[in-house]
Amino acid sequence: MTKATEDLFTPIHKGIRSMIYDLASRLQAADFTDRAASESLLADLQHEFSNAVSATCVLCLLHLHAGHEELQVFPSMQPIDPTLIRALVDDHQEISRRLVALTSLGDQLAASGAPDRRAELGARINREANDLFAFYLVHMNKEEATLVPAMQEHFTDDEMRAMQGRIIASLPPDRLASFLRWMLPSLTTAELVRLLTGVKQGPSPQALGFVNGIGTAHVDPTRWAAVRERVGF
């Protein structure tokens, strides 16, 4: 039997890394004493766990991605390597704990009007966000080094595509667009060609237009034109 080649983790992880790098860069340069200037940045740091996940909030998307893994991927791997899955779930629980703590700091900052207090909270948010990002980056590396080869050994490409399809089907269009907006520019040209080819061969003509619209808006125009040419679209 031909060894499977599908990778459910690396492409989306590339997008998540880009989210993290961008948010970390904005955080360290932010003047949190300026309420108006820091408002949009603060929105990316505030995750209201009791309500629906925001379509664009970066921390919300990190939390949502972890949830997809637990619902759609981990159960299939649980019987194969329960120790690995337990360790990854423990990581997710730690990520959730850190998200809650960071959100609490964001709430305190939003409620504060005193410049000195806002500067103090801003510095704490920057440090704790960096701690969260470092933990999340190591976690994604761990998944790519362990889960990707294990799944390629134990599942077929069709089975993994079915898992991926269930994840995509569970996403409202605005949240799917948010993930793709980060993921597409983060992929190599070869990865983009493979992705767009798969969408083109899929059952939904609308999906091809949807992905093309996001690629046109967010990928370097010369590179996206080359991808379209190679795919024949």
Here the tokens at position 20 are 């993290």
> Looking at residue 119, what is its pLDDT?
95
Residue 84 included in any domain: yes
Q: What is the pLDDT of residues 53-62, one digit of tens each?
A: 555 678 888 8
Does one domain contain both 110 and 149?
yes
Q: Are residues 167 and 193 in the same domain?
A: no
Tracing tokens 């989210």 back to the chain, one arrives at 19
What's the domain count of the chain?
A: 2
Q: Does residue 212 sit in the same domain as residue 151?
A: no
Residue 198's domain comprises: 187-233
Mean pLDDT, rounded, for 204-218: 92
146 and 90 share one domain: yes
Indicate whether 98 and 29 sit together in one domain. Answer: yes
Judge if 78 and 113 occupy the same domain: yes
When comparing pLDDT for 43 and 63, which is higher? 63
Q: Which CATH number do you get for residue 81?
A: 1.20.120.520
**CA–CA gap between residue 39 and residue 125 (Å, rounded):** 14
- Percent of the chain at pLDDT above 70? 95
Residue 223 domain-assigned? yes
Would 131 be classed as within a structural domain? yes
pLDDT for 52 equals 42
Write down the pLDDT at residue 16: 95
H-assigned helices in the chain: 10-29, 35-45, 58-68, 74-77, 82-111, 115-154, 157-169, 173-186, 189-201, 205-218, 221-231
Q: Which pLDDT does position 205 carry in this prediction?
A: 80
**Could you tell me the pTM of the whole model?**
0.91
